[in-house]
Amino acid sequence: MEAAQRKRLEETTRYDPTEVEGRIFSEWMDGGYFHPQAEGTAAENFSVAIPPPNVTGVLHMGHALNGSMQDALVRMNRMRGKNTLWVLGTDHAGIATQAVVEKELKKEGKSRHDLGREAFVEKVWEWKAEYGSRIVEQYKRLGASCDYDRERFTLDEGYVRAVYRVFKQLFDKGYIYRDNYMVNWDPGSHSAISDLEVENREVEDVLYSIDYPVEDSDRVLTVATVRPETMLADTAVAVNPGDERYADLVGKHVVLPLVGRRIPVIADEHVDVEFGTGALKITPGHDPNDFEIGRKHKLEEIGVIGPDGRMTEEAGEFAGLTAAEAQVAVVEALRGEGRLSAEEPYVHSVPFSHRSGERIEPLISLQWFCRMDELARPAIEVVERDEVNITPPQWKRVYLDWMREIRPWCVSRQLWWGHRIPVWYCDACNETIVAESEPQRCDACGGELRQEEDVLDTWFSSALWPFATLGWPDDTPELRAFYPTSFLTTAREILFLWVARMIMTGLEFAGDIPFRDVYVHSVIQARDGRRMSKSLGTGIDPLEEIDVHGADALRFGLLAMSSTQDVRFSDAKVEQGRDLANKLWNASRLILLNTAEVEPAPRPTCVEDRWILSRLEGTIASVTDKLETYDFAHAVQEAYSFFWRDLCDWYLEIVKPRLYDGEEEVSATLLYALERVLGLLHPTMPFVSEEIWSYHPARQGHLAVHSFPVADLALIDEAAEADVEGGIRLTQRLRAWRDLAGVAVGATLPAVIDGVEPPAFVSRLSRFEFDGVGAEPVASIGPVRVLDSDQLDGAAVAERLEKRRQELRAEVERGERKLGNEGFVAKAPAEVVEEERGKLERYRAELEELA
RNA sequence: GGGCGCGUAGCUCAGUGGGAGAGCGCUCGCUUCACACGCGAGAGGUCGCUGGUUCGAAACCAGCCGUGCCCACCA
């Protein structure tokens, strides 16, 4: 080691991530390690497509967790020498991004309409250029080993070609069509949204009962509704065909109050006899159920609420009011006419826009849809056959259940930011042209064309992510080398929205599954158990955590707290990671500053050496297995426990004298163990491991591309493990005895061994002299007979002895009770019974000695 | 309405048929020549409740209570 390096090691007693991380990351980038050549086949390579974050965003805890998991597996496979690609990119996130820019405009008192479409979209691109790359920089802070030179954007030039190709092919197959249909209208974003972007919330409304007079009769038909303003668009009243109360009215008409329109009484199975009066007003224009019933009975579809949320001309005297205002006015008018027979509070679930948070207004409008059933079929099969493996397994069924009930997808959005739908209309001859690139003139009449105004749902483009990012529709080297990707880690909330659609499009267009494994990770909640969200103010900023504790600490913490169930964010786990980084640094200082100049190699000379090597290799095997099966929490905690407990607390303490002596064998073994520990931890804690590696004598190049340790099972030694662990337990018992017997910390006590000689370290670490002479034994701890000396407090020793006797009596009693149970002896496995017998014997013997 | 989870030490969570675990916090003792982001020793739990299966249950089954999420067109 150079003198300067040695000096730095000697002087730096605390690991400082802020000083290290930026420097190390630059070294990785300069090395080009994250930018693989597009060579080989997907079967032999390793690749991942990052779930593309929104350009609007900043890194949140979900990204940090997901990034930590992906990076762990990506780095592990890169170290294994695989040609490894982690594709990075961002999503244009239609509604979200447009909303942010509109909000900016609003500050200047302008709306997007003031700018016009072209200028507005230009503005969004400017915004994207300025802020869109923030999240990429933040992934670097996390240490994510993405290919930053292959960054993609769902709206970049090549991506548009992929989207248009897909749209055209789906259209040609007859899957994509345009129709007037009931959609979820989001008054907030002024666009239709898909079913998956709707969330239901419990709301307290008023349930109004309205009397509809029956034509040519004194009777009234009373209907119940929470939206009285929609009665203006009623085109029927429905009753259940089996409902005798109304059987005679079916086929007759009622007169709609306020409006005066005659509407038929129809019979439909959908109507619940039990609910309210059993009569249901039918408003095909403003209610999804009524829409279905209306289509079935060929009812007129009237729209009284427009896309702007205001009452239309159809609403007559109420035209121009907002729906909420109209509700008040309609109720007032009905009351005036004596048609309101009841009002009662009513709690029910109501759809809201996931994006804008506004209450969904169901409307009929002309939209583009995509039939999903044919696309779903093969996507169901690959999951059924486990060609795409979903972990944890309960999500497989959730996926399959949803896919089997899949409905058409409304893919058009009334936005300006996004993939403008590749459809052109000719007003001259009414021709509709779908094309991958803009046609000049109408094929049929040569007339002028105008492009469809709507854009595609953001998820339409994200659905193509795994192959579009690799250059599809061109047959690129990247596509051949890295598709299908190896795995996908994701939050469950986008299982349908994104994962399912990638599987469908992957099979349809890229001819193969997009990934072999889907790992659905847990959700990290706020410290108080609420959802982390910006609007609730419950978010925890990963970058702040990185600033304070370091990226390795955050990564370790997130992986350690992740599990199959949702967990609350734990500062303690991040601090545990920070402490681990510091411990790694300091243990490495001890090793690197004191070892002799030797080749790192396992060179055991005693049982402790064989023990630590056995534990090391066992840990490598187990941690590797856990990482490969997405059991990140146990993987990092097991690595932690091996390193801290076994290596630092015990082995380093045991070998210190040999180390300070400059013994070559132990130096070689320690350097070997350190090299392997650094390699094992690098995927989860890349910065600190890389930094320490720079001081390691075996270093040739960066740890990021050094070999990942493969467990050497020849070094597993169960006998050595048993011996040393026995010695450790004995040491702990001796220390505990000293403590309770009131012995001074630094004092060495005389004792003799009666029985099997424990490993040599026990004497030194417990501060007992095992060849003591003279005095009487006063206590018996395993094979150790403690001899009396003036360092002992007689009363404390007696008390300690009595306590042990009580413990032993309890143990003996327990064993006797268990073995006295005939059922146990007869039915329990022989080895379990034997074990109990052995224990009982030992406890009895010890009690005998102490008596 | 249907489905999936969860309820274990003060806190956050592991453990899923043979003697209750981790991290943090707490108590006591240590400025021991890698680390006080440290070292050593401790205290702390009728494993939500009630029944059942079993020689044996925190774990398996049933019911109940509490709690979270997803899906669903009862006005």
Q: What is the mean pLDDT of residues A360-365?
A: 91
* Among chain A residues 510-569, those with CB within 7 Å of any atom of strand B: 525, 529, 531, 561, 563-568
Q: What is the pLDDT of residue A712?
A: 97
Mean pLDDT of all residues in A493-511: 94
Query: Å from A383 (CA) to B2 (C1')?
Result: 23
Strand B bases contacted by the protein (CB, 7 Å): 3-6, 11-15, 18-19, 22-24, 29-30, 32-42, 54-56, 68-75
Please check whether strand B approaches the CB of A200 to within 7 Å: yes
Rounded mean pLDDT, A513-534: 91
Output the pLDDT for position A50: 96
* A660: helix, strand or coil: helix
Nucleotide nearest to A570 (CA to C1'): B12
Query: For the residues A719-743, what does the mean pLDDT come to?
Result: 93
Distance A468 CA to B44 C1' (A): 57
The percentage of residues in chain A with a pLDDT greater than 70, rounded to a whole number, is: 100
Confidence of residue A682 (pLDDT cuts 50, 70, 90): very high
Q: Report which of residues A533 and A142 the model is more confident about.
A: A142
Q: How confident is the model at residue A666 (pLDDT cuts 50, 70, 90)?
A: very high
Top pLDDT among A635 and A245 is at A635
Q: Which amino acid is at A800?
A: R
**pLDDT score for A61:** 93
* Closest nucleotide over all strands to A734 (CA to C1'): B41
Structure tokens at A382: 């690959």
Q: Which of residues 729-758 of A touch strand B (CB under 7 A)?
A: 731-732, 735-736, 739-740, 745
For residue A23, what pLDDT band results from cuts at 50, 70 and 90? very high
Give, in Å, how far the C1' of B3 lies from the CA of A392: 16
The answer to whether the pTM exceeds 0.95 is no
Residue A686 has pLDDT above 90, yes or no: yes
* Start-end of H helices in A441-570: 458-462, 465-468, 477-482, 501-505, 542-549, 551-561
Distance from residue A638's CA to nucleotide B53's C1', rounded to whole Å: 35
How much is the CA Rg of chain A, to the nearest whole Å? 36
Mean pLDDT across A634-646: 97
Determine the Cα angle at A99 with ends A98 and A105, to 5°: 90
Q: What angle do CA A327, A330, A335 make, to 5 degrees?
A: 125
| Cβ neighbours of residue A77 closer than 8 Å, sequence gap 6 or more | A46, A84, A486
pLDDT of residue A435: 92
Confidence at residue A71, expressed as pLDDT on a 0 to 100 scale: 98
**Quick check: A510 and A483 in contact, CB under 8 A?**
yes
Using the predicted structure, report yes or no on whether residue A535 has a pLDDT greater than 80. no
In whole angstroms, give the CA distance from residue A81 to residue A87. Answer: 18
pLDDT digits (tens, 9 = 90+) for A316-332: 899 899 988 999 999 99
Nucleic strand B within 7 A of Cβ A13: yes
Does the pLDDT of residue A200 top 90, yes or no? Answer: no
A:263-322 Cβ neighbours of strand B under 7 Å? 270-276, 278, 280-281, 287-289
pLDDT at A534: 76
Q: For the residues A290-297, what does the mean pLDDT come to?
A: 91
CA of A826 to C1' of B27 (A): 46
pLDDT at A622: 97
Q: Read off the pLDDT of each residue in A454-458 and give the average, rounded to a whole number.
A: 94
pLDDT at residue A670 is higher than 90: yes
**Continuous segment of H or E residues that includes residue A585:** helix A571-594
Average pLDDT, chain A: 92
Residue A623's pLDDT is: 97
What's the confidence (pLDDT) of residue A145?
97
Find the Å distance, CA of residue A539 to C1' of nucleotide B37. Answer: 25
Q: Does the pLDDT value for residue A774 go beyond 80?
A: no
The complex's ipTM works out to 0.96
Span A618-634, mean pLDDT?
96
Distance A736 CA to B42 C1' (A): 9
**Å separating the CA of residue A150 from the C1' of nucleotide B71:** 38
Strand B reaches within 7 A of the A823 CB: yes
- For residue A356, CA distances in Å to A100, A121, A148 come to 11, 20, 32
For residues A816 and A620, the model is more confident at A620
> Tell me: the pLDDT tens digits for A592-617?
999 999 999 999 999 999 999 999 99
Band the pLDDT of A32: cuts 50, 70, 90: very high
Q: Which residue is nearest to nucleotide B42 (CA to C1')?
A: A736
pLDDT above 90 as % of chain A = 69
Cα gap A366→A410, rounded to integer Å: 10
pLDDT in tens, A127-181: 998 888 889 999 999 999 999 999 999 999 999 999 999 999 999 999 999 999 9
Q: Is the CB of A408 under 7 A from strand B?
A: no
pLDDT at A648 over 80: yes
A196 touches strand B (CB under 7 A): yes
Candidates A763, A802, A799; CA nearest to A784 is A763
Contacts 24+ apart (CB under 8 A), A617-620: A617/A711, A617/A712, A617/A713, A617/A715, A617/A716, A618/A711, A618/A716, A619/A680, A620/A676, A620/A680, A620/A709, A620/A710, A620/A711
Q: Is the CB of A839 under 7 A from strand B?
A: yes
Q: Is the CB of A597 under 7 A from strand B?
A: no
> Would you say the C-beta of A394 is within 7 Å of strand B?
yes
Confidence of residue A555 (pLDDT cuts 50, 70, 90): very high
Residue A111, pLDDT > 80, answer yes
A431 touches strand B (CB under 7 A): no
Cα Dmax for chain A: 121
- Model confidence pLDDT, tens digit, residues A402-426: 999 899 999 999 999 999 999 999 9
Asked if strand B comes closer than 7 Å to A576 Cβ, the answer is: yes
| Residue with CA nearest C1' of nucleotide B39 | A649
Is the C-beta of residue A682 closer than 7 Å to nucleic acid chain B? no
pLDDT of residue A801: 86
Asked if residue A773 has pLDDT above 80, the reply is no
Interatomic distance A141 CA / B10 C1' (Å): 36
pLDDT tens-digit map of A68-98: 999 999 999 999 999 999 999 999 998 889 9
Question: Given a cut of 90, is residue A800 above it in pLDDT?
Answer: no
Query: What sign has the CA pseudo-torsion A782, A783, A784, A788?
Result: positive
Query: What pLDDT shows up at residue A482?
Result: 97
- pLDDT of A381 > 90? The answer is yes
More confident call, A2 vs A572 = A572
